[in-house]
Amino acid sequence: MAALSGQRRLERRWGLLMAVPAILGFVIFTAGPMVASLGLSLTDWQVGGTPSFIGTENYTALADDELFWKSLSATTYYTLGAVPLSLIVAFVVAMLLNQRVRGLPVWRTIFYLPTLVPAIANVVLWIWIFNPDFGLLNSLLRQGGLPAGMWIYDEDMAVPSLIIMSTWAFGNTMVIFLAGLQGVPQHLYEAVSVDGGGPWHRFRHVTVPMMTPTIFYNLVVGVIGTFQVFNQAYVMTEGGPNNATLFYVYYLFRKAFRESEMGYASALAWVLFMIIMVVTFLLFRNARRWVYYEMAGGR
Amino acid sequence: MRTRILLYLALAAGAVPTLLPFVWLVRSALMQDTQMFIAPPQWIPDPFQWSNFTEALTAQPFGRYFLNTVVIAVISVLGTVLTCSIAAFSFSRLRWRGRNVVFAVLLSSVMLPYAVTLIPTFVMWQELGALNTIAPLTVPSWFAGAGGGVLNVFLLRQFFLTIPFELDEAAYIDGASPWRVFWMVVMPLSKPAIVVVTIFTFIGTWNDFLGPLLYLNDEEKYTLSIGLASFQSIYITQWGYLMAASAAVIAPIIALFFFLQRYFIEGVTLTGIKN
């Protein structure tokens, strides 16, 4: 008994000690800045000056800020296009790669390649693919006798172009789908086959329901990620043409680090935070209707 | 047999659009600028303009950028692996009051958009006089990855939970300390999970753009991402250079992945789903 409590004490002491770096990291780099950002959002603060408290003025100013609404709608448009498209593409490819395929490492590498390309190299590459005069896309279209487009240089095509570009790098979503597919119990497939079900039945009644938690995970991660799209707008389009790709975080970045309106930018950050929270909450609430958990309460 | 053929046809059909941009990149990297404009496009460079590579890579100190990026990536990987696994050990194999609550609170930071912490964090580094140093880019990783890095703690914790607890008990009976159990028992058995965290962190730092953009001003401190972005705005008319520089930035990470992809995919499967 004495030995046991000694062990308990040892675990408690070491347990706390070993959690210290993680807890400190949370306080210094997450909780602290989060509270500070809320505080800053209630001030008028130009860099170099001192912050002065102005209450909710930044937030009310947002409502009249045309660019704020523009950036919000551009970002929403991007999310609504990019997330479903990459989910579908990643799921289909993961299904293919989950078959017994020869040369699996090569196939995996091929489909994962675009994800590995450093964000900026990716952007630079696609600037030339979208080039209206001699880019890859228009060259191919012209060869096929199809009309060429202006892509990122056209106000209506700019966001769809960036959606195409983001779908190209579906590798992370695919890997998580692959992991999920490998966790689907084989005996369920066998059960469907015994009942005379074909491939479609196996897909519809085993694969899809068993994969709903993975689909849901990728959906949430995808939405949170695309809401924060930045690089393309910064390097590729600078928010243009005519603010068509003025994505939210890019607008925030411009306010904070170009126009040095830190208070206003902090208000932008908090509004984004609240939007993401609401969207995530709605997704979770909706998930109860379609996400299937085999073992509720499993670890 | 027919379904087999269809399977390979489908895979090949998917591989073409995936690879085409790379082929385009490589062919452009090896072309004279004039040749790129020809319509219909030429796919095989004639002649092969190898000098694009040497000239692009010497036009800006890409060797220097490469080294800077490696230093930041290595420091970040070491910090993340070490502090995340220590935390994961505490949250999975040591019993202490409040453990699960603390873990849940930490994990909640994964949901936080980075934009929310961006400005105060920047101001904090500014106040500490750490702008234009690698501290803002590396120090957070030594606090269990901080922010989104908590996912690594989660991943490692899930993995640690699969290791039989009898091993710890046996070691404790022999008088081992928790540190010794962590270092001599749990860590050696967790290589797949550690490889995954290493690759994720390495790729993450290698590809990071916003961090270096905010914190590094001196050209000689630039990382590859920043170097390439500024290269793009300077050499906007020298496409061959630009393509060659992009290809050179991409190549090392592709090579790394090709050799490690087995561990990577298996590791994700192991740590993600099975208990």
pLDDT higher than threshold 60 for residue A268: yes
What b/e sequence results for B33-53 when a residue is b if at least 16 CB atoms lie within 10 Å of its CB, and e otherwise? Answer: eebbeeeebeeebeeebeebb
Q: Compute CA A292 distance to the chain's CA centroid, rounded to the nearest angstrom.
A: 23
What is the structure's pLDDT at A158? 94
Asked whether residue B275 carries a pLDDT value surpassing 60, the answer given is: no
Sequence-distant (6+) residues with CB within 8 A of B86 are A18, A21, B144, B182
A150 and A24 housed in the same domain: no
DSSP state of B210: H
Q: Token pair for residue A163?
A: 């959606």
> Which of the residue ranges A101-110, A288-297, B46-55 would you say has the lowest mean pLDDT?
A288-297
Confidence of residue B268 (pLDDT cuts 50, 70, 90): low
Which ipTM value was assigned to this complex? 0.86
Are residue A6 and residue A131 in the same domain, yes or no? no
How high is the pLDDT of residue B235? Answer: 74
- Interface contact B275-A299, CB threshold 8 A: yes
Domain range holding A115? 58-287
The verdict on A121 touching B (C-beta cutoff 8 Å) is: yes
The reply to whether A201 and A278 lie within a common domain is yes
Query: For the domain that residue A89 is a member of, what is the CATH number?
Result: 1.10.3720.10
Instruction: Delimit the domains of chain B by residue range.
Output: 1-48, 59-272
Q: Which of B102, B140, B246 sits opposite A124 (nearest CB)?
A: B246
**Chains A, B: CB pairs < 8 Å:** 285
A25, A182, A234 ranked by CB distance to B140: nearest: A25
In this structure, the answer to whether residues A66 and A18 fall within a common structural domain is no
Torsions phi, psi for B126 (to 5 deg): -60, -45
Assigned CATH class of B59-272: mainly alpha
Between A99-103, B164-168, B270-274, the lowest mean confidence (pLDDT) is in B270-274
Judge if A24 and A114 occupy the same domain.
no
Nearest chain A Cα to B13, which residue? Answer: A93
The per-residue pLDDT for A1 is: 46
B7 in contact with A, Cβ within 8 Å: yes
Quick: pLDDT tens for B29-76.
Answer: 888 877 777 766 777 887 788 888 888 888 888 889 999 999 999 999
Residues paired with residue A43 on neighbouring β-strands, in sequence order: A53
Q: Check: pTM over 0.95? Answer yes or no.
A: no
Looking at the structure, do residues A103 and A177 belong to the same domain, yes or no? Answer: yes
Return residues 28-57 of A near B (CB < 8 Å).
28-34, 36-37, 40
What mean pLDDT comes out for the span B220-232? 89
Is residue A187 situated within a structural domain? yes
Could you give the percent of chain B with pLDDT greater than 70?
A: 94
Mean pLDDT of B11-28: 89
- CB-closest option in A30, A116, A120 to B257: A116
Same domain, yes or no: A86 and A28: no
Total of domains in chain A:
2
Query: Which amino acid type is present at position A52?
Result: S
C-alpha neighbours within 13 Å on the C-beta side of residue B175: 0
